[in-house]
């Protein structure tokens, strides 16, 4: 009888296209171990929405395979399970968070000490960060040449089917999922998320299929429209590995091929967005301080305006700027926010309120179901103007014009701000300009059921530009 092999589940909560599981299954009966490790990531332990997602995802997976669930530092837990089970090998998918390299080395040491072999596989990304380099052998700092290098590297490897496996039938103790307290204790907190999402591998596959059938054809032209349901909404599934980027890539390529040229522009655009995810992880891998420190060091001196009250108003979606508030409310209810609105809301926090980008990053970390250490930090730095290949700081979004451009009939705003539902289109993105009679007819009482703007955008813009001039090397 072959010795068992230990498969350590991380951000790869799926059976399909899973190199680590495939290899573990080939060696012997598989132990499916998931560790709730709140120790190793320290301040970056999973946020509230991601914990809800993890619970649901593990619940879905445990309907297919028996999971061993244990809390603690992953290397210590793995050492224990190796001793208890006599497993001859450990298999896991590589992770790229700043703390993961050290953890993976400790897991290898634990395996060595137990006389087990240790194997690490790719799959969370399309390309290992070390494999994409510029002509001088350096990591890329600019997205466009990075993405060209990824396209030039060829199509991602072929997908792996669900492997044949047997499950280890020895006795190993396991927590029950409910013991982990991943679900919110106040019962109503996650209702909106439950209505919007089906975490798990099957949910991911269904989402990809629907996107290809309904969204992809409109993706290139309408992906910036929060009032349209066009983007894939695959990000939380990619984040926890219920689907691999390779599965998304190949499915879109297959649809493109089948459409005989009709989907070319849409497919290219989508694949380029998937490569923004790759680029974020490429940056994180090479600059592991990305979640905390500005990529452009001169921004460390930026004269921020700590303002806890304004931060609270922003978090609650009560800034008085409808497109910003709608985004923050969508986030609170569903655990997601449309990409265009993320950019507008982030710009508002950083530039109109002058609040450090790290505060917004933290809020997103706690509230997003796709909270992702690579994409979140790289995107916040991008908006703040302090990241690699970032939007220039002085390009400051006007939240009214952005709203009118990307949500022209105000459908998105009305959906998330029911208090503005009866506002006429002309004023839905600028209610403070509406005549008293119009406000009255729409049932809007500024300062009562909807706030006055927390700042005047024109004044705030001038203040932001003046603050920017104070830092050395600003350009
Ligand atoms: C301030 C800010 C914070 C963000 N935080 C996160 C985060 O924590 N996690 C996260 O996954 N994305 C984050 N993003 C990127 C982006 O908003 C989301 O990936 C996207 O909205 C997810 O929706 P979708 O799956 O429908 O995307 P689609 O448009 O369907 O794109 C397909 C996939 O490509 C990737 N992708 C798309 N746009 C980006 C991007 N700009 N950067 C990186 N990857 C991208 C995602 O994995 C996405 O699922 C952030 C963006 C901003 C501006």
Best of 214, 221, 375, 387 for a ligand 1 pocket test (most atoms within 8 Å of beta carbon): 375
Judged by phi (left if over 0) then psi (alpha if -120 to 50, else beta), residue 60 lies in alpha
Closest ligand 1 atom, CA of 223?
Answer: 29
State yes or no: pLDDT of 212 exceeds 90: yes
CATH of 5-123, one of 3.30.1360.30, 3.40.50.620, 3.30.70.360, 2.60.40.420: 3.40.50.620
Verify whether ligand 1 is closer than 6 Å to residue 366 (CB atom): no
Ligand 1 pocket residue status of 244, Cβ below 6 Å:
no
Q: What is the 3-class SS of the chain, one letter each residue?
A: CCCCEEEEECCCCCCCCCHHHHHHHHHCCEEEEEEECCCCCHHHCCCHHHHHHHHHHHHHHHCCCCEEEEECCHHHHHHHHHHHHCCCEEEEECCCCCCHHHHHHHHHHHHHHHCCEEEEECCCCCCCHHHCCCCCCCCCCCHHHHHHHHHHCCCCCCCCCCCCCCECCCCCCCCCHHHHCCCCCCHHHHHHHHHHCCCCHHHHHHHHHHHHHHHHHHHHHHCCCCCCCCCCCCHHHHHCCCCCHHHHHHHHHHHHHHCCCCCHHHHHHHHHHHHHHHHHHHHHHHCCCCCCCCCCHHHHHCCCCCCHHHHHHHHHCCCCCHHHHHHHHHHHHHCCCCHHHHHHHHHHHHHHCCCCHHHHHHHHHHHCCCCCHHHHHHHHHHHHCCCCCCCCCCCCCCHHHHHHHHCCCCHHHHHHCHHHCCCCHHHHCCHHHCCHHHHHHHCCCECCCECCCCCCHHHHHHHHHHHHHCCCCCC
The answer to whether the beta carbons of residues 21 and 29 sit under 8 Å apart is: no
Which range of 96-100, 186-190, 297-301 scores highest in mean pLDDT? It is 96-100
pTM, 2 dp: 0.97
Does the beta carbon of 147 sit less than 6 angstroms from any atom of ligand 1? no
d(CA 344, CA 351): 10
Cα(319) to centroid(ligand 1), Å: 24
Question: Residue 233 class from Cβ within 10 Å (0-12 exposed, 13-18 middle, 19+ buried)?
Answer: buried
Ligand 1 close to Cβ of residue 234 (< 6 A) = yes
The percentage of the chain sitting over the pLDDT mark of 90, rounded to a whole number, equals 93
Q: What is the rounded distance in angstroms from the CA atom of residue 52 to the CA atom of residue 363? A: 16
Percent over 70 (pLDDT), the chain: 99
User: What is the average pLDDT value for the chain, to the nearest integer?
Assistant: 96
Residue whose CA is at the smallest distance from ligand 1 atom 19 = 235
Q: How far apart are CA 226 and CA 411, in angstroms?
A: 9
Element of type H or E holding 448: none
Work out the pLDDT band at 472, boundaries 50, 70, 90: low
Closest-lying ligand 1 atom to the alpha carbon of residue 215 = 30
**Is the confidence at residue 475, as pLDDT, over 70?**
no
Choose the residue to mutate in 339, 351, 369, 402 for probing ligand 1, maximizing ligand atoms within 8 Å of C-beta. 339
What CATH code is assigned to 297-469? 1.10.579.10
Angle at 296 between CA 291 and CA 299, to 5 degrees: 90
Residue-level pLDDT at 473: 63
- 223 Cβ below 6 A of ligand 1: yes
Mean pLDDT for 169-181 is 96
Helix 322-334 and helix 399-406, axial crossing angle in degrees, nearest 10: 70
Look at 184 and 265; give whichever has higher pLDDT. 265
- Give me the pLDDT at residue 264, please: 93
Q: Is 347 in the pocket of ligand 1 (CB under 6 A)?
A: no
What is the Å distance from ligand 1's center to 375 Cα? 7
Q: Tell me which residue has its CA closest to atom 1 in ligand 1.
A: 380
Q: Is the pLDDT of residue 390 over 80?
A: no
Ligand 1 in reach of 346 Cβ (< 6 A): yes
Tally of residues, the chain: 475
Q: Rounded to an integer, what distance in angstroms lies between the CA atom of residue 61 and that of residue 33?
A: 12
> Please, what CATH class does the domain formed by 125-159+200-286 belong to?
mainly alpha
Give the pLDDT band (50/70/90) at residue 77. Answer: very high
Number of H helices, E strands in the chain: 21, 5
Residue from 147, 209, 275, 370 whose mutation best tests the ligand 1 pocket (most atoms within 8 A of CB): 370
**What's the pLDDT score for residue 194?**
93
Where along the chain do the CATH 1.10.579.10 domains lie? 297-469
For the CA of 370, the nearest atom of ligand 1: 9
Ligand 1 pocket check for 375: Cβ under 6 Å: yes
Ligand 1 centroid – CA 345 distance (Å)? 14
Is there an atom of ligand 1 within 6 Å of 371 CB? yes
Distance, CA 372 to ligand 1 centroid (Å)?
9
Of all protein residues, whose CA lies closest to atom 44 belonging to ligand 1? 277
pLDDT in tens, 135-174: 999 999 999 999 999 999 999 999 999 999 999 999 999 9
All CATH 1.25.40.80 domain ranges of the chain, comma separated, are 125-159+200-286
* Residues carrying CATH 3.40.50.620, the chain: 5-123
Tell me the CA–centroid distance for residue 277 and ligand 1, in Å: 7
Phi and psi angles of residue 33, each rounded to the nearest 5 degrees, phi first: -110, 125
> What mean pLDDT comes out for the span 215-241?
97
Best residue for ligand 1 mutational test, from 273, 372, 386 (most atoms within 8 Å of Cβ) = 273
Active-site residues, by number, are 273, 276, 304, 339, 357, 380
């Amino acid at each position: 009888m072959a010795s068992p092999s230990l498969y350590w589940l991380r951000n790869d909560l799926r059976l399909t296209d899973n190199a680590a599981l495939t290899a573990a299954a080939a060696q012997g009966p598989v132990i499916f171990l998931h560790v709730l490790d709140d120790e190793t990531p320290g301040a970056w332990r999973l946020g509230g929405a991601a914990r809800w997602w993890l619970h649901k995802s593990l619940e879905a997976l445990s309907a297919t395979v028996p999971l061993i669930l244990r809390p603690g530092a992953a290397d210590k837990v793995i050492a224990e399970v190796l001793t208890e089970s006599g497993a001859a090998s450990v298999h896991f998918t590589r992770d790229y968070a700043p703390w993961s390299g050290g953890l993976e080395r400790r897991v290898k040491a634990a395996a060595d000490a137990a006389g087990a072999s240790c194997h690490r596989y790719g799959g969370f990304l399309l390309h290992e960060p070390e494999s994409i380099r510029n002509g001088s052998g350096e990591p890329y700092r600019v997205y466009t040449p990075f993405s060209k290098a990824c396209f030039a590297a060829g199509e991602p490897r072929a997908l792996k089917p669900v492997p044949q496996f047997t499950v280890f039938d020895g006795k190993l103790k396991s927590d029950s999922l409910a013991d982990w307290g991943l679900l919110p204790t106040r019962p109503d907190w996650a209702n909106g998320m439950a209505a919007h999402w089906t975490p798990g591998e099957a949910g991911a596959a269904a989402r990809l299929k629907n996107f290809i059938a309904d969204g992809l054809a409109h993706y290139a032209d309408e992906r910036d429209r929060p009032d349209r349901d066009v983007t894939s909404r695959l990000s939380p599934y990619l984040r926890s590995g219920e689907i691999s980027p390779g599965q998304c890539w190949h499915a879109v390529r297959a649809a493109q091929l089948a459409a005989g040229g009709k989907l070319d522009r849409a497919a290219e655009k989508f694949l380029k967005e998937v490569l923004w995810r790759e680029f974020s992880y490429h940056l994180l891998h090479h600059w592991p301080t990305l979640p905390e420190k500005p990529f452009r060091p001169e921004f460390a001196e930026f004269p921020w305006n700590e303002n806890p009250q304004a931060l609270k108003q922003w978090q609650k979606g009560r800034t008085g700027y409808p497109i910003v508030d709608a985004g923050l409310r969508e986030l609170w209810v569903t655990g997601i926010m449309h990409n265009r609105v993320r950019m507008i809301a982030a710009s508002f926090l950083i530039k109109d309120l002058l609040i450090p980008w790290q505060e917004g990053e933290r809020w997103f970390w706690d509230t997003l179901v796709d909270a992702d250490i690579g994409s979140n930090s790289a995107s916040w730095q991008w908006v703040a103007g302090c990241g690699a290949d970032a939007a220039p700081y002085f390009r400051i979004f006007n939240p009214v014009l952005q709203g009118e451009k990307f949500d022209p009939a105000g459908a998105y705003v009305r959906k998330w701000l029911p208090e503005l539902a009866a506002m006429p289109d002309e004023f839905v993105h600028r209610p403070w300009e509406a005549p008293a009679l119009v406000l009255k007819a729409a049932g809007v009482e500024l300062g009562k059921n909807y706030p006055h703007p927390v700042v005047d955008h024109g004044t705030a813009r001038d203040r932001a530009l003046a603050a920017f001039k104070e830092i050395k090397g600003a350009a």
